[in-house]
Each structure stands twice: as C-alpha cells, then as structure tokens.
Structure 1
Amino acid sequence: MQERNYFAEQLRIKSGSFSWPAGDFIVEQQILPAYYMDNEDAEESLQCMRAMAAARSANIYLLIDMKNIKGASAGARKTLAQASPTLVKGVATLIANPISRLLSNFILGLNKPSYPTRAFSDKEQAKAWLKSLKDKNEAKKI
C-alpha cells in the first residue's frame, strides 16, 4: 500500500476526496455520488483530517459537499460529530436534496458537534461563513 502524502492538495479516500489548495484555509471534502458512509469511512475521514492538519500545522475549516450522498450510518454521524474542536474549527455542509438536508440536520442537530456547523445550498455563502469563523478565531487567538 502506498503511503499517503498528507501535505498534498488533493487526497483520495474511499468515500471521495479532500482538497486543500496551497494558501487556502478551507478543506473541501467531496463525497462520491450515491455513496453510503459507514463508521469506517468516518474514521478514515477523521484520520486524514488529523494528518493533513498536522502536515500543515493548521486547523481545519471544513466544507463538505454532501449534495449527492446516499446516506450515513448512525455510527458515522456520531464519529464525525465527535471530532475535536481543537482540530475542526467549523464545518459547512453543502446540501441540495431532501436526503442531504436530512443527513446534514442529523449531523448538525441530533449529534451536537462541539464545533460550529451550518448547512448551505450555496458554496460561496458557505465559504464566506467559514471565513467569518476563521476571522473570529484569529481575533480571539484560538
């Protein structure tokens, strides 16, 4: 098995990919169309986020495109909601259909993440919200 380069701008995982362009603070996670995320996928996502953050000595402001996701197990939702607020500083989810809205609401409400979360249908609004979180955190030196 080939070792992953966690400093890379694009990283493929089983459920899709992460993109973190050089000089940007937003990590974008793209979930494969019609993908059902299980706990193993959620663990892989968190492990990648930890390693990417460590490689860049940076916090994670995550934009998850879940517009075409098929679903996620209760274990996956719980695992993702328990990500450390010292790692994840904010999560914006992109939604487009009733299934992605339902899953987003589960992640945002039912599992009560310890970091700020919000659902959007517009990518630029999601990025602007993440930037406002980053600006607030920098002002507080978090």
Structure 2
Amino acid sequence: MAVKEVENDFIKFMIEDGILFSQFKTTSIGTLEDIKAIIDLRHEISAGEKQYWCYDFSGMKTFDKDARDYADKYGQDYLHACAVILNSHITKFIVNTFILLKKPAVPLKGFSKKEDAVNWLKELKKKNEQFKS
C-alpha cells in the first residue's frame, strides 16, 4: 500500500496501512501558531476522512497554554482515535490520568512504546469496522 505524506518545517504526517502517523521535526515548546499549522496539515492529509492517529510526542517539550486550549477545542476533528507516544512512563501516567478526568470527544490514550500504540489503534479500527458491517 502506498504511503501518503505531507509536512512542514515543524512536523511530518504520513498515512500507512490505514493509520495516520506524525513525527515532530524539531524539539521546542509549541505555540498557538504551531498547533494551528499542525491541525491544518492534519486536516489536509485527512482529506475530510476520520483517521486513527499515532501521535509521536517524543521530541516535543510541551505546548503553551493557548496552544493546548486551541487543540482541545479544534484538534479532534477528523479523528476516530488518537494514541500518543510519550517519552517516559511518568508522562504516560500523567497523561492517561488527565484523559480520565478530561473525557475527550474521541478515544485518546498515552503509550510509551510505538508498537503498543499502533496495536491499540488497529484494535479500535477493527472493532469499528466490524460494528459498521
């Protein structure tokens, strides 16, 4: 299956085997402008279709509050689910605890291993496809 890719100076997106992957190209603290560019680029590659997103957060320090608020409001469009790859078990625990309290509009879960994140997304995708049939 062909891989579809888009990128800017900050992030690269690719769709492979029905999963949307992303990788940051720089290490920094993300701003509101950065998150808007990320969301716009993700919408571009999604082409109006919902995706299962494997969001590799390693390499990114954090996003400022304005960016986080914007992502919370506008960042869940065109998503079935999002698996976030984090660089530590402590960060994963904090994120997953926050997710339990926040109850996002789409399934969201933190992982410390890419393989586990992809497996979770594939399982959700399989369940959703069986439910549609």
Task: Tell me the TM-score normalized by structure 2.
Answer: 0.79
Q: Per-residue CA shift, 1:7-36, capped at 9, x if unaligned?
A: x72222232211223xx2111111234221
Give the total of aligned pairs.
131
Give the 3 Å change call, closer, same or farther, for CA 104–66 of structure 1 in structure 2. Answer: farther
Give the 3 Å change call, closer, same or farther, for CA 111–92 of structure 1 in structure 2. Answer: same
Give the 3 Å change call, closer, same or farther, for CA 31–105 of structure 1 in structure 2. Answer: farther
Structure 1 counterpart of 2:109: 118
Report the Cα distance in structure 1 between the residues aligned to 2:98 and 2:9, rounded to whole angstroms.
Answer: 20
Give the 3 Å change call, closer, same or farther, for CA 28–43 of structure 1 in structure 2. Answer: same
Q: Per-residue CA shift, 1:104-126, capped at 9, x if unaligned?
A: 45973565421000111111111
Q: Which of 88, 113, 132 is equivalent to 1:97?
A: 88
Note the residue ranges of structure 1 that are not aligned, 5 or more in a row: 1-7
3-state SS of paired residue (1:52): helix
Give the 3 Å change call, closer, same or farther, for CA 78–94 of structure 1 in structure 2. Answer: same
Q: Which of 57, 62, 76 is equivalent to 2:53?
A: 62
Report the Cα distance in structure 2 between the residues aligned to 1:103 and 1:32, rounded to whole angstroms.
Answer: 24
The percentage of counterpart residues that share the same residue type is 25
3-state SS of paired residue (1:93): strand
Q: C-alpha displacement at 1:61, in angstroms? A: 0.8
